[in-house]
Copies of this chain bind each other. A is one copy, B any other.
Amino acid sequence: MKSIKVGLLGAGTVGAGTFNILKRNQEEISRRAGHKIEIVMVADLDLARAKELVGSAECEVVNDGNLVVNHPDIEIVVELIGGYGIAKDLVLKAIANGKHVVTANKALLAVHGDEIFKAAQDKGVMVAYEAAVAGGIPIIKALREGLTANRIEWIAGIINGTTNFILSEMRDKGLDFDTVLKEAQRLGYAEADPTFDIEGVDAAHKATLMASIAFGIPVQFDKAHIEGITKLEAIDIRYAEQLGYRIKLLGIAKRTPQGIELRVHPTLIPAKRLIANVEGAMNAVVVQGDAVGATLYYGKGAGAEPTGSAVIADLVDIARLADADPAHRVPHLAFQPNAMSALPILPISEVTTSYYLRLHVSDKLGVLANVTSILAESTISVDAMLQKEPELGESQTDIIILTHQTQEKNVEAAISKIEALPTVHGKVTKIRLEHLS
On A, residues with C-beta under 8 Å from B are 17, 21-22, 24-25, 28-34, 130, 136-138, 141-142, 145-151, 216, 274, 277-278, 289-300, 305-306, 308-313, 316-317, 320-321, 324-325, 327-331, 334-336, 339
Who on chain B is nearest to A287 by CB? B299
* Distance of A354 from chain B, by nearest CB (Å): 23
Report B-chain residues with C-beta under 8 Å of the C-beta of A274.
274, 277-278, 298
Extra A-B contacts (6), CB below 8 Å, given A32-B335, A297-B298: A21-B291, A22-B149, A138-B147, A148-B316, A149-B308, A291-B312
On whether A136 and B296 interact (CB within 8 A), knowing A28-B151, A32-B336, A150-B25, the answer reads no
Q: How far is the CA of A198 from the CA of B22 in the complex (A)?
A: 42
Report B-chain residues with C-beta under 8 Å of the C-beta of A148.
29, 32-33, 312-313, 316
Q: How far is the CA of A141 from the CA of B330 in the complex (A)?
A: 14
Who on chain B is nearest to A304 by CB? B291
Who on chain B is nearest to A272 by CB? B277
On whether the beta carbons of B34 and A336 are closer than 8 Å, the reply is yes
On whether A299 and B306 interact (CB within 8 A), knowing A31-B216, A32-B331, A147-B138, the answer reads no
On whether the beta carbons of B136 and A313 are closer than 8 Å, the reply is no
On whether A293 and B298 interact (CB within 8 A), knowing A25-B150, A130-B146, A147-B313, the answer reads no
Report B-chain residues with C-beta under 8 Å of the C-beta of A311.
149
On whether the beta carbons of A297 and B300 are closer than 8 Å, the reply is no
Q: How far is the CA of A316 from the CA of B30 in the complex (A)?
A: 26
Report B-chain residues with C-beta under 8 Å of the C-beta of A29.
148-149
Complex partner residue of A291 from B25, B291, B296, CB under 8 angstroms: B25
* Distance of A317 from chain B, by nearest CB (Å): 7
On whether the beta carbons of B299 and A298 are closer than 8 Å, the reply is no
On whether the beta carbons of B328 and A309 are closer than 8 Å, the reply is no
Complex partner residue of A136 from B24, B292, B325, CB under 8 angstroms: B292
On whether the beta carbons of B335 and A328 are closer than 8 Å, the reply is no
* Distance of A288 from chain B, by nearest CB (Å): 10
Report B-chain residues with C-beta under 8 Å of the C-beta of A298.
274, 295-298
On whether the beta carbons of B31 and A147 are closer than 8 Å, the reply is no
On whether the beta carbons of A325 and B324 are closer than 8 Å, the reply is yes
On whether the beta carbons of A328 and B331 are closer than 8 Å, the reply is no
Q: How far is the CA of A349 from the CA of B32 in the complex (A)?
A: 31
On whether the beta carbons of A300 and B293 are closer than 8 Å, the reply is yes
A-B contacts, 12 listed (Cβ < 8 Å) = A25-B290, A31-B336, A33-B148, A136-B293, A142-B146, A146-B313, A291-B306, A291-B308, A292-B300, A292-B305, A296-B296, A324-B328
Report B-chain residues with C-beta under 8 Å of the C-beta of A296.
296-299
Report B-chain residues with C-beta under 8 Å of the C-beta of A328.
320-321, 324, 328
Q: How far is the CA of A24 from the CA of B151 in the complex (A)?
A: 9
Q: How far is the CA of A309 from the CA of B266 in the complex (A)?
A: 32
Complex partner residue of A145 from B17, B138, B151, B329, CB under 8 angstroms: B138
Q: How far is the CA of A329 from the CA of B327 in the complex (A)?
A: 13
On whether the beta carbons of A293 and B306 are closer than 8 Å, the reply is yes
Report B-chain residues with C-beta under 8 Å of the C-beta of A130.
146
Q: How far is the CA of A146 from the CA of B134 in the complex (A)?
A: 13
On whether the beta carbons of B25 and A145 are closer than 8 Å, the reply is no
Q: How far is the CA of A368 from the CA of B308 in the complex (A)?
A: 51
* Distance of A192 from chain B, by nearest CB (Å): 25
